[in-house]
Amino acid sequence: ARRLHTVMERLLEKISFSAPDESGTSITIDQAYVDENIGELVKDEDLSRYIL
């Protein structure tokens, strides 16, 4: 669960900071958003640290 938490935290980091200013808006997280925000994690680090 800690590994999943780390991935989700990294994915939602930008949204968390801007959330108070974006009250009432809907945010869609699609493949492009995931690639943009954790793409470097996939390329640079050993994913076995995050995925069992």
Is the entire prediction scored with pTM above 0.75?
A: no
- C-alpha 31/C-alpha 37 separation (Å) is 10
pLDDT tens digits, residue range 1-52?
667 888 888 889 888 888 888 788 888 899 898 888 887 766 655 666 655 5
Which pLDDT belongs to residue 34? 87
Determine the structural domain holding residue 40 and report its residue range: 2-49
Instruction: Report how many domains make up the chain.
Output: 1
**Within 13 Å, how many C-alpha atoms sit on residue 34's CB side?**
6
Which pLDDT belongs to residue 45? 57
